[in-house]
Each structure stands twice: as structure tokens, then as C-alpha cells.
């Protein structure tokens, strides 16, 4: 229910921009801009989805945090969605999100409101306490002592 008000305001702004800019630009140029940005957004979503997987894999191989590449790709995907949706305001915001310095600034601004994980590697899940120690025992199994397998694994027997 909270999103209803801003959604209605956004629709009214888009309608006002369609009327104002459409009257200034003309029908055919307005339609060309709307359909052109929709095709750009679709192409962007297609290319970005493949590139995102490669960048995340590279970040994992470097053992670095994948949060920055994920944030950039999420904003680019959001820009592609805004470009697909008809409207001059959404297209403008979508095109602005494609500019890397603006995207980095927005990520830095949003990072202030997101809690950061601890730097020491401990307590990376919510509610974790570094003073809690879990005592456990383990047995190391030797691979040569395992019985030979003669069929499917034991997990699939009924």
C-alpha cells in the first residue's frame, strides 16, 4: 500500500512528459525514441546477463568480494528494465544509470545504508557472536578403507 502513492505520482509524471515532449517532438519521433530505448534495454539485458556470470566467476577466482560487480550489474539490469518500460522519465534514469561514474556514486551512497560484514571473517551471518565456541569431535576417514562401490550410492537405495 505504501508504493501505491509513488506509483501513481510516477504514472502522472510519465503521462505529463508524454504530452509535453510528445507535443514538442511529434508523434513519430516520440514513438521512435520509446521503441529505440526499448530495443536498447532488451539488448542490454541480454548482454549483461552473460557478462554478469563471467564477472562473478572472475571475482570468485581472484578471491575478492563479488559485491561490487554484483552492485554494478544489478544497476545495469535495472537500467535495462527502465529502458524497456515506456516513458521518458524512466528512459532518462535508465540512461543515467549506464554512466559508470554516476553508478559508482550511487553505489557509494547506497553502501552507507547497508550494514557491512565484519572484516575478520568471523560472524558473517546475522546474529553471530565471536565469543561463542562450538566444541566438536571429528573422525578422519581414509579413502582406501572405504568399501568398493558396486552400484548406485547409498543415498538412492530404498
Q: Is the pLDDT of residue 86 over 60?
A: yes
Q: Which of 87-96, 133-142, 145-154 shows the lowest mean pLDDT across its residues?
A: 145-154
**Once rounded to an integer, what is the mean pLDDT over residues 54-81?**
80
- Kindly report, residue by residue over 107-136, the tens digit of the pLDDT: 888 888 877 665 555 545 556 666 777 778
pLDDT at 123: 47
- Overall pTM surpassing 0.75 (yes/no): no
73 pLDDT band, cuts 50/70/90, is confident
Percentage of the chain beyond pLDDT 90 is: 7
Length of the chain: 158
- Kindly report, residue by residue over 19-45, the tens digit of the pLDDT: 888 889 888 998 898 899 899 888 888
Percentage of the chain beyond pLDDT 70 is: 78
In 10 A of CB 13, how many CB atoms?
Answer: 14
Q: Taking the chain, what is the end-to-end CA distance rounded to the nearest angstrom?
A: 50
Q: Which of 67-71, 106-110, 151-155 shows the lowest mean pLDDT across its residues?
A: 151-155
* Higher-scoring residue by pLDDT: 30, 69: 30
Residue 34 Rama label (left phi>0; alpha psi -120 to 50; beta): alpha
How far apart CA 71 and CA 75 sit, in angstroms, is 6
Residue 45 near residue 81 (C-beta atoms within 8 A): yes
Amino acid at each position: 500500500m505504501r508504493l501505491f502513492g509513488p506509483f501513481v505520482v510516477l504514472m502522472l509524471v510519465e503521462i505529463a512528459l508524454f504530452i509535453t515532449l510528445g507535443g514538442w517532438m511529434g508523434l513519430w519521433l516520440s514513438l521512435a525514441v520509446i521503441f529505440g530505448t526499448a530495443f536498447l534495454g532488451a539488448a542490454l539485458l541480454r548482454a549483461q546477463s552473460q557478462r554478469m556470470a563471467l564477472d562473478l566467476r572472475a571475482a570468485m577466482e581472484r578471491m575478492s568480494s563479488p559485491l561490487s560487480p554484483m552492485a554494478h550489474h544489478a544497476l545495469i539490469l535495472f537500467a535495462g528494465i527502465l529502458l524497456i518500460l515506456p516513458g521518458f522519465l524512466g528512459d532518462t534514469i535508465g540512461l543515467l544509470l549506464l554512466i559508470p561514474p554516476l553508478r559508482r556514486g550511487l553505489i557509494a551512497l547506497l553502501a552507507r545504508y547497508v550494514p557491512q560484514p565484519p572484516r575478520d571473517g568471523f560472524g558473517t551471518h546475522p546474529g553471530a557472536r565471536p565469543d561463542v565456541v562450538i566444541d566438536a569431535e571429528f573422525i578422519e576417514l581414509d579413502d582406501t578403507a572405504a568399501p568398493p562401490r558396486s552400484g548406485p550410492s547409498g543415498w538412492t537405495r530404498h
